[in-house]
Amino acid sequence: MGPHLDYTFHAMGSEVRVLIGPRLRRTEPSPLNAADRERRFVLEFARRLSRFEPSSELSALNRDPRAVVPASQLLRAAVRAGLWAAERTGGLVEPTLVRALERAGYATSLDGAPPASLREALAAAPARYPARPDPRSRWRDVTVDDEAGTIVRPPGVLLDTGGTGKGLCADAVACRLAGYTRFLVDCGGDIAVGGVGPQLEPYEIDVEHPLTGEVIGRIKLDRGGVATSGVNVRIWQRPDGAYAHHLLDPSTGRPAWTGLIGVTAIAGSALEAETLSKLARLVGPDAARRVLADRGGVIVQDSGEVELVGSLVCRMTAPARLLVAS
């Protein structure tokens, strides 16, 4: 695959990895200097958009009593990404569930906190059913006005950009690395791939089993995005003994237990892949196959059974059932 810079750092509560090939033009920074630059970009991206940081732009927006709030280009882009995901998923992946997340126990960052046992959580989880949108949700009342440089929303409606932030960030870094022969940007499992090199030698991206952590397959990707949504990373036990995770059913405001513990989706960008992986996990096994049919993906059921969906190029390292959805 030729020379590569392999650069890893911690941000947004996860590991961020950047692979950069040779420069296309001598005017571009060296791969190492480019990686240093992107590290600064990602850390600043995370600082400005964290709902856990009181001084962040997002926190300032949520505190602001005005209906029309001046907002930076970055904040407007992040909120727009959340609104796009809500529209794309019919309101299942949406950015106005902050209070429900806090009630579930996700009021502060879980960065560095060991996750609860997924096996124990599955044993104690309620009956499985597909998540549903909430017709009372306020995301449709939020608008981004780029001409005026503002975000308009009813006062008191809190926004969270975390549901789409890593995919958006991976895509932004990928765009900034367009001057290199090949690159991969992995923001905590939301991955963007580009350059001319992968079209000749695609990247192989590991898919891990959420119960065992073992690699169950490797997806070949030459461009676009791939993302995994799993219950195993952000899962915790509440003081009342119940288990919770960060992907909520908007209709109830409670963690969604749908029969799926992991979904990997492929799409044209990391943001789209992140959105589709969350959507597929929220709608449950039957509908997930339809969500992933166009580009392909991997689903893992509560039982641990692994299924390949669609016509993706994937080399499995563990037994899997292949489904070609129609």
Per-residue pLDDT of the chain in tens (326 residues, 90 and over written 9): 567 899 999 999 999 999 999 999 999 999 999 999 999 999 999 999 999 999 999 999 999 999 999 999 999 999 999 999 999 999 999 999 999 999 999 999 998 889 999 999 999 999 999 999 999 999 999 999 999 999 999 999 999 999 899 999 999 999 999 999 999 999 999 999 999 999 999 999 999 999 999 998 899 999 999 999 999 989 999 999 999 999 999 999 999 999 999 999 999 999 999 999 999 999 999 999 999 998 899 999 999 999 999 877 666 676 666 444 43
Q: pTM of this prediction? A: 0.94
Q: What is the CATH number of domain 54-160+195-323?
A: 3.10.520.10
All structural domains of the chain with their residue ranges: 54-160+195-323
Answer whether 208's CB lies under 8 Å from 69's CB.
Answer: no
Place of tokens 């960052």: 109
Helix (H, G, I), strand (E, B) or coil at 75: helix
Largest CA distance in the chain: 59
Q: In what order do the strands lie in the sheet with 260-267?
A: 5-11, 14-20, 182-187, 190-195, 224-230, 260-267, 297-301, 306-309, 321-323
What's the residue count for the chain? 326
